[in-house]
């Protein structure tokens, strides 16, 4: 599959998720997959910066592995916990997961 197509689909899903819930998107951040530790990715560091500055209430990602692969779930949980401490929830836009509340 074309990596650009996957990114486009993820963005479309995120926008549809937000629109269906009346959520205003303040910024769309591209965070290319590859580096398992979110803090080593420029895009995720931007997410953290927005949260730290109080400019985001929610982060919408496509699915759990967008944060960190299954083999390093502790990194995923670390990031979600850090956002929650700052009052920022994390939601998944992929339909089978989008109906759940704040995620771990």
Q: Where do the structural domains in the chain lie, given as residue ranges?
A: 3-25+38-98
pLDDT on residue 20:
94
What is the number of other CB atoms lying within 10 angstroms of the CB of residue 36? 15
Of residues 104, 94, 13, the one with CA closest to residue 28: 13
DSSP 44: H
Q: What mean pLDDT is predicted for residues 70-97?
A: 93
- The whole-number average pLDDT for the span 33-49 is 93
pLDDT for 101 equals 55
Please say whether the structural domain 3-25+38-98 has been given the CATH code 2.30.29: no
Least confident of 8-22, 40-54, 71-85, 89-103: 89-103
pLDDT of residue 94: 86
C-alpha span between 38 and 69 (Å, rounded): 10
**Predicted confidence (pLDDT) per residue in 83-95, tens digit:** 999 999 999 998 8
At residue 57, φ and ψ (nearest 5 deg) are -110, -20
């Amino acid at each position: 599959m074309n990596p650009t197509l996957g990114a486009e689909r993820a963005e479309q899903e995120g926008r549809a998720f937000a629109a269906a819930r009346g959520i205003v998107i303040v910024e769309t951040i591209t965070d290319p997959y590859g580096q398992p530790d979110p803090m080593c990715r420029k895009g995720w560091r931007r997410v953290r910066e927005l949260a730290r500055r109080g400019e985001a209430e929610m982060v919408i990602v496509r699915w759990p592995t967008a944060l960190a692969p299954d083999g390093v779930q502790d990194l995923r949980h670390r990031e979600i916990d850090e956002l929650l401490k700052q009052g920022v929830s994390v939601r998944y836009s992929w339909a089978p997961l989008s109906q759940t509340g704040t995620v771990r």
